[in-house]
């Protein structure tokens, strides 16, 4: 038998680890720079020392949780918790928020910007979707290569069951990292950066809410027995770093093809009848 930590200590350790790892993300300053015609002449570092610190903190959290994966899984699967309607419904809500909810949020934000003719809102939606896509692509490769067994596949007893390449062939062995956590933290990171850049006065309120929601998405995956705790923190690392790189890269290249097509293109009436495409630059 594996000695169990007190129930309250186990759940507090998990929540504290996730929130503590994401706290610097919500508060990290990001210099706001106006988009001008000279932006491309001023290189912006795509990966910064702060990214290394954030990623390192999340990586440390992943390794710190490895010895407790089995204990946390057992605690989450206790009949008293699995039979709790409030917990079960909350876990279902946050699971769906992670996927497909994050994609719906990003897409709806983009469409709202199009309908309102607001390039800023469009950009917020596009960056969110780009970040989810980038993080998910990286996550797919890591999942396949790691081949870690999901908790339900090994009855919560073999948290260290990794096998290189196995994840490409069987979904039961795609536990590491959590895809829902990747999407949730990519969304939180992308939106936080864009909001800090476009509406800096709103950031102190919105960013913590975004990261708290992402954390709850990760915890829902533990409740559903689909992931180990370390999978969730690893997913947070992948999603956060992907979003930070995507947003910074796109900001350094304001005339990139995606922005020209999705943000800068507008359908307008053409002289003499018909419709034409017009391009503008977001400010």
What's the pLDDT tens digit per position in 166-211?
Answer: 999 999 999 999 999 999 999 999 999 999 988 999 889 999 999 9
Question: Is 185 part of any domain?
Answer: yes
- Which sign, positive or negative, has the C-alpha torsion 194, 195, 201, 206? negative
* DSSP line for 191-256: HHHHHHHH-TTTHHHHHHHHHHHHHHHHHHHHHTTS--HHHHHHHHHHHHHHHHHHHHHHHH-TT-
Question: Is 145 part of any domain?
Answer: yes
The Cα 170–Cα 148 span in angstroms is 10
Compute the average pLDDT of residues 261-283. 52
**Token match 């943000």: residue?**
263
Predicted confidence (pLDDT) per residue in 132-175, tens digit: 999 999 999 999 999 999 999 999 999 999 999 999 999 999 99
**Token match 């001023």: residue?**
42
Question: Is 11 part of any domain?
Answer: no
Burial 237-274 (b: 16+ CB within 10 A, else e): bbbbbbbbbbbbbbbbebeeeebeebbbeeeeeeeeee
Question: Is 128 part of any domain?
Answer: yes
State which residues form the domain around 177: 47-252
Which CATH number goes with the domain that contains 186?
A: 1.20.144
Question: Is 24 part of any domain?
Answer: no
Residue 217 has pLDDT above 50, yes or no: yes
Predicted confidence (pLDDT) per residue in 221-233, tens digit: 999 999 999 999 9
Number of domains in the chain: 1
23 membership: H or E segment, kind and range: helix 7-27
Q: What is the pLDDT of residue 260?
A: 83
Q: How far is CA 110 from CA 106, 107, 118, 131, in A?
A: 6, 5, 9, 14
The Cα 253–Cα 248 span in angstroms is 9
pTM for the predicted model, two decimal places? 0.80
């Amino acid at each position: 038998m594996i000695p169990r930590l007190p129930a309250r200590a186990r759940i507090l350790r998990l929540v504290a680890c996730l929130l503590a790892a994401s706290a610097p993300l919500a508060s990290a300053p990001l210099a706001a720079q106006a988009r001008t015609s000279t932006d491309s002449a001023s290189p912006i570092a795509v990966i910064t020392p702060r990214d290394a610190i954030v990623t390192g903190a999340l990586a440390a959290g992943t390794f710190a949780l490895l010895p407790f994966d089995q204990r946390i899984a057992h605690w989450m699967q206790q009949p008293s918790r699995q039979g709790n309607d409030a917990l079960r419904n909350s876990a279902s809500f946050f699971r769906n928020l992670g996927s497909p909810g994050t994609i719906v949020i990003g897409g709806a934000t983009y469409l709202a910007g199009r309908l309102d003719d607001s390039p800023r809102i469009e950009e917020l939606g596009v960056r969110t979707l780009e970040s989810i896509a980038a993080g998910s692509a990286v996550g797919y490769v890591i999942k396949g290569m790691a081949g870690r067994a999901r908790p339900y596949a090994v009855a919560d007893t073999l948290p260290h069951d990794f096998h290189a390449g196995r994840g490409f062939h069987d979904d039961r062995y795609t536990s590491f990292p959590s895809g829902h956590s990747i999407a949730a933290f990519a969304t939180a990171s992308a939106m936080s950066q864009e909001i800090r850049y476009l509406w800096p006065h709103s950031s102190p309120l919105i960013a913590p809410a975004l990261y708290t929601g992402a954390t709850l998405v990760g915890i829902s995956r533990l409740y559903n027995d689909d992931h180990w705790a370390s999978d969730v923190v690893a997913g947070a690392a992948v999603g956060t770093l992907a979003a930070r790189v995507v947003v910074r890269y796109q900001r350094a290249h304001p005339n990139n093809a995606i922005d020209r097509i999705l943000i800068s293109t507008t359908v307008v009436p053409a002289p003499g009848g018909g419709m034409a495409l017009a391009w503008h630059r977001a400010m």
